[in-house]
Amino acid sequence: MEFEATFGTDAPVIGMVHLPPLPGAPKAPDDGAAAMRDALDRAAADARALDRGGVDGIMVENFGDAPFYPDDAPKHVVASVTRAAIEIAGETDLPLGVNVLRNDAEAALSVAAAVDADYVRVNVHTGARVTDQGVVQGRAHETLRLRDRLGVDVGVFADTDVKHSAPLSAEGYTAESFADTAERGLADAVIASGRGTGEAVDTEALEAVVADRNAHGLDTPVLVGSGVRADTVSDVLAVADGAIVGTALKEGGETTAPVDADRVAELVERADEVR
């Protein structure tokens, strides 16, 4: 994919649609049809609010499905995420991304291909991480070959040092690096995040990711994937090439609340000051 052409800017603000618990998830209503309808209604409303607020793209993920399957979400989850993505695509022409938690890149890419989405987020693309789902391993070799087989121009946005995880390392070697993710894993963008949902990335850590990118002579965009707020977005975009924002765009700053179009507009206005 062409990053700037896709978003119409070289420093996009991507807003999150966090789906509520989907049918079959532990926190979902017992009535599966009601759970699906609630998820679709929320997805549509959040997409409209993000569009009105002026974001450059949208990312949908099954945030409410905790505890997550490590890397092979069952078919009913994939079907539900696909249906939600279709709902979002019917509400806005903004570039659309898909993330199937915890790390089902095959499902995310398949959904993206089916709904003509533009990019996917892959939490562990190369290397391995220790997570609350156990050890999660990257499968870049499978993901990129699947993309070729499907014949789609879907960008792979891959995390480095992803939130809610810790690295596997031995004697100073970490089984993940920017070069592994972008140069060997061929990610189209790399995402730096804080330690958890809504937590800001450490400035020095973000600068180190960008420095690593530059040291390898790469031009892979670096996005910040957590903790960006209206009062910090200008500082973030002074270093990074874009931001994926969820919690700060919600009513009351609560991750699971509906998107607040006014909060979106405020953050986008601040972002526009530096781009």
**What does the H/E/C string look like for 168-200?**
CEECCEECCCHHHHHHHCCCCEEEECCCCCCCC
Q: Does residue 213 fall inside a structural domain?
A: yes
Q: What is the pLDDT of residue 128?
A: 82
**Side-chain half-sphere CA neighbours of 150 within 13 A:** 21
| Residue 86 backbone zone (phi > 0: left; psi -120 to 50: alpha; other: beta) | alpha
User: How far apart are alpha carbons 162 and 94 in whole angstroms?
Assistant: 25
DSSP label of 254: -
Query: 10 Å Cβ neighbour count for 220?
Result: 18
Q: What is the pLDDT of residue 170?
A: 52
How does strand 128-131 pair with strand 57-61? Answer: unpaired
Query: 10 Å Cβ neighbour count for 157?
Result: 26
Q: Does residue 3 fall inside a structural domain?
A: no
Q: What is the pLDDT of residue 176?
A: 53
User: How far apart are alpha carbons 17 and 250 in whole angstroms?
Assistant: 10
Q: What are phi and psi of 61, to 5 degrees?
A: -145, 160
Share of the chain above pLDDT 70, in %: 96
Q: What is the pLDDT of residue 177?
A: 66
User: How far apart are alpha carbons 165 and 178 in whole angstroms?
Assistant: 16
Residues recorded for the chain: 275
Total number of domains in the chain: 1
Helix (H, G, I), strand (E, B) or coil at 267: helix
Joined tokens for residue 188: 């189209």
Q: Does residue 82 fall inside a structural domain?
A: yes
Helix (H) or strand (E) segment spanning residue 121: strand 119-122
User: How far apart are alpha carbons 178 and 220 in whole angstroms?
Assistant: 10
Looking at the DSSP bridge assignments, the partners of residue 97 are 59, 119
> Which residues form the domain of 43?
10-273
Q: Does residue 64 fall inside a structural domain?
A: yes
Radius of gyration of the chain (CA): 17
Q: Does residue 2 fall inside a structural domain?
A: no
Q: Does residue 76 fall inside a structural domain?
A: yes
Task: Give the tens place of pLDDT for each residue, 51-105.
Answer: 999 999 999 999 999 999 999 999 999 999 999 999 999 999 999 999 999 999 9
The CATH number given to whatever domain includes residue 246 is: 3.20.20.70
Task: Give the tens place of pLDDT for each residue, 121-177.
Answer: 999 998 888 888 888 889 999 999 999 999 999 999 999 877 677 777 654 444 456
Q: Which residues does 210 contact at the CB level (< 8 Å), separation at least 6? A: 222, 239, 240
Which one, of 264, 173, 187, lies nearest residue 222 by Cα?
187
Higher per-residue pLDDT: 46 or 174: 46
Q: Does residue 73 fall inside a structural domain?
A: yes
Q: Does residue 5 fall inside a structural domain?
A: no
